[in-house]
Chains A and B, each alone.
Chain A
Amino acid sequence: MPLINFAAREINYKIVYYGCGLCGKTTNLQYIHRKINPDARGKLVSIATEEERTLYFDFLPLTLGTVKGMQTRFHLYTVPGQSYYNASRKLVLQGVDGVIFVADSQITRLDENVESYLNLWDNLLSQGDDLSKLGFVIQMNKRDLTEVFSVEDLNELLNHTDSPVTESSAVTGQGVFETLKVVCKQVIAKTG
């Protein structure tokens, strides 16, 4: 849920990148951190294993600036992808306003995508939140690789909510900001 501090003239939204291990969640955040105006972002905090796999989460605060007198921020988080870190994923989802589900487009990763997608909805439902009021985007990542599903097939396999879909290659940055923009606009529309 957003934190609206009228006294301090601030509004904060929480966006979570979700998806299976190695699908590109952290790569999205690293690209945003690298490319965006340094004045508009804070520190990129990562709690990762020695092998640089996300252990708990990555965190990157973005400042949109002052909008209608309100300092507007988006707090971007990733979750650990591996299924045995589900307890940590649930914690990161607490208070979420918008979710970007990062799907690995490679044909060989279908099972992991489906498992992670079902796990996301399980975890959101267990929070008891009204899911119709969450921002939600599916980012079809790794479109630069060969042996990938078509967008139509992946959409049919994963997008049961008929949510917006973007195509990306987080390594090159293609589609990274487009995806972020879609979900940010959604959460503002749904939460005010």
Chain B
Amino acid sequence: MARRKGLVINDRQLDRCDDLLQKLKEVSGSSFLALISTSGQPITTASDEYHPETLSLASLAASSFAATQQLAKILDENEFTLLFHEGKALNLHVSQVTDQVLLIVTFGRETQVGKVRLYTQRAIEVLRQIFDGPEDENTPAMDAGFEAAAGTAMDDLFKDM
């Protein structure tokens, strides 16, 4: 059966992303960062104490960003490359890394928006190289028995329902 190819992240990419997010968090003064896919799935996060519910956050941020892109089209703007929400205590900044990846940054009122935007933009340039670079030959393949094992796991989870 033909198989679809999705977004595949290998060890090296994730290590580089984690290092970069950690540095970005420190230099920008942000409290929580997450890389997510444009279809709303989390890739990795960086935070110290603040841990929002990542699955819902990724889903909502990706959907909001996609809606923002459509707003741009309706307004005859080429693209809106970021989404910004200003709160009483916390701000949310979502920006596009590649066609398949978004970066979420949250930061408090004490942190300057300009500083976050500047360092985020620089980080995105490096992140693009990580995701758009040539495919790593060391990226592993799915275990051949995954499909059968997943089927069994599903039968177990849904039994008696």
Contacts and interface: CB of A to CB of B under 8 A. Distances in A.
Interface of A: 1-8, 11-12, 14, 35-37, 40, 42-43, 45, 56-57, 59, 61, 64-65, 67-70, 72-73, 75, 77, 87-88, 90-92, 94-97, 130, 132-134, 173, 176-177, 180-181, 184-185, 188-192
29 contacts: A1-B6, A3-B41, A4-B9, A4-B142, A5-B9, A5-B43, A5-B44, A6-B11, A7-B12, A7-B14, A7-B15, A36-B157, A37-B157, A59-B59, A64-B150, A64-B153, A64-B154, A68-B145, A73-B55, A88-B67, A91-B66, A94-B66, A96-B39, A130-B4, A134-B4, A181-B155, A185-B150, A191-B4, A192-B142
Contacts of B118: none
Interface residues of B, number: 48
A4 B8 contact: yes
Interface in B119-161: 139-140, 142-143, 145-147, 149-151, 153-155, 157-158, 161
B110 interface: no
B41 A70 contact: no
Given A6-B9, A45-B60, A189 B41 contact: no
A192 B9 CA distance: 14
Contacts of A72: 150, 153
Nearest to B17: A7
Interface of B: 1-15, 37-41, 43-44, 53, 55-56, 59-60, 63, 66-67, 70, 100, 139-140, 142-143, 145-147, 149-151, 153-155, 157-158, 161
